[in-house]
Chains A and B, each alone.
Chain A
């Protein structure tokens, strides 16, 4: 008991016995999962394992039937909605890149910037020198300075993914949830994305859901394998990929 409460206190994100079902289908089955501050974690698992549902629960899109979801040990995320949770410092990247296509790259980042988000604050907002510098810094990080005035609709698939990651950085989250960041990317883009995510993880916690085993190997971090709504195995990539249950359920023989 003592050990559990200690893990909980140290955790950034703490899920315990979380279950949720849709029309009788158990998407999550007493899932427990802990992310520590500053940790970069990869999640793998077959389709329907509950990876996206888990993200939906953390970000307030779906309410769990039972279980505990705590942020920084004290904040009960099951009682908050998406906007609240985003403001607490949890950012989310969707599976399909979701950026504002009819805005420029710059405007996309300006909107994402962690500033007051009320109606009147945004109506009377003017870009300060500090905000400008911050946006330029993010443009450098995601390597898109030369395309800052381009409409997001005209970006390539890989660039949209990076722009979305840039928007999450602008949000200054403590925890970043990234759903399949390298789906549809070229090998070169995939390698660059791994570098980018590792850089981001230096200052915050990142949880990456991915199918690309090569990419996960490149990240070189602790891996959690989900199947049928609960944790199947957890550990280093070599440990997990040699686990017979993981091979059976996910990797295939």
Chain B
């Protein structure tokens, strides 16, 4: 049963994508660690960290594609799940600092000493334990998605109204996390991390492992997403997107279908956030900004929604472009991003991967038609030849 579920996921292009991702996941750290810095093929650590960040964004875009591309839920608040996963990881990393902080308090992180906390807030307990923190990386975003989805889908909030309340959700969290007395470091967030599982987060070896983990988690989530969309459940999901009332009148509980997908997607976004934080070295409330969530929608649309692989490509290309433009021509980046979104909407409404797929399908159909035509042409010639005799 389970093996059938996973086996179904391994369609040709998914296997190819996983192969490429794992190849990059091994090759990039290897080139970073095993080649001397002056070698032509050496990959500097900053570039590896940058590309690791793109992989986390790619996972976030994949998570969004599951709900938007397949279930038709345009979430404009997926950045919130990403940030919550990031904060869970950040809390673990803060607890690992121990007495090495500026104030040298063995229990309390620096910002708590600064804000006159007497003891650790209850919700910080357990985060010094890696397994617990990693569980929270998926439990907290999953729980928020569950509570939010439970109410929204049960009351049949749909379309643009749902998008607006997801946006409101991430904005409310942004405001909440900015407050100092929330206990998450307020405006400054969590930073100055030292160790992860006893290894320095600054060390090249640690960064290499984090890079590999990003590629690995992206691959695993891609396989899971593929297994979901290729199962009968996935077909129901597309049904919900295209004709929700038909699904309902066939006897399916649409609210449960949406809820399950939304929660799985939020958990993936949480994992992406958790891998992001040690690689960039900081998590602050800015990650909850509504604009961030909207950018994820742009990546997904550029790559091609409803294709799973498209959003991964979209996230990497757009963020690669962002890094290049903000370095080379900082003042035109926002115009370039806006222009890109307009261009994709006008000329590539299916996104990059969607357009390629569509083109291949059309060429295939054209070829089949041409073959049929040719076959008939031959038959006609034969018939004419026979008639002539």
Contacts and interface: CB of A to CB of B under 8 A. Distances in A.
Contacts of B233: 119, 122-123, 125
20 contacts: A86-B249, A94-B245, A98-B246, A99-B243, A100-B238, A100-B239, A100-B242, A100-B246, A101-B242, A103-B238, A107-B235, A111-B235, A111-B250, A119-B233, A119-B260, A123-B231, A124-B231, A125-B232, A171-B250, A171-B251
Interface residues of A, number: 29
B247 to A, nearest CB: 8
Contacts of B242: 100-102
Given A100-B235, A114-B251, 9 more contacts: A86-B251, A101-B243, A110-B232, A122-B233, A124-B1, A124-B4, A124-B5, A126-B1, A171-B251
Contacts of A44: none
Given A100-B238, A100-B242, A103-B235, A124 B249 contact: no
B246 A123 contact: no
A-B complex: 8 closest residue pairs judged by Cβ atoms: A86-B251, A122-B233, A125-B232, A87-B251, A123-B233, A82-B248, A122-B232, A98-B246
B117 interface: no
B254 interface: yes
Nearest to B252: A117
B257 interface: yes
Contacts of A91: 249
Contacts of B232: 110-111, 122-123, 125
B253 A99 contact: no
A112 B246 CA distance: 10
A100 B257 CA distance: 16
Contacts of B245: 82, 94, 98
Interface in A29-74: 59
B257 A119 contact: yes
A182 interface: no
A114 B247 CA distance: 13
B2 interface: yes
B283 interface: no
Contacts of B251: 83, 86-87, 114, 117, 171
A60 to B, nearest CB: 9
A103 B245 CA distance: 16
Contacts of A117: 250-253
B323 interface: no
A98 B242 CA distance: 9
Interface in A94-133: 94, 98-103, 107, 110-112, 114, 117-119, 122-126
A209 interface: no
Contacts of A171: 250-251
Contact of B231 (A94, A101, A114, A122): A122
A123 B242 CA distance: 19
B210 interface: no
B274 interface: no
A90 to B, nearest CB: 9
Contacts of A101: 242-243
For B4, B5, B253, the residue with the greatest tally of chain A CB atoms inside 10 Å of its CB is B253
A8 interface: no
Interface in B225-270: 228, 231-233, 235-236, 238-239, 242-243, 245-254, 256-257, 260
Interface in B160-208: none
A110 B5 contact: no
Nearest to B261: A119
B250 A126 contact: no
Given A122-B232, A123-B231, A111 B248 contact: no
For B1, B2, B4, B250, the residue with the greatest tally of chain A CB atoms inside 10 Å of its CB is B250
Contacts of A83: 248, 251-254
A107 B231 CA distance: 11
B256 A119 contact: yes
A59 B248 CA distance: 10
B9 to A, nearest CB: 11
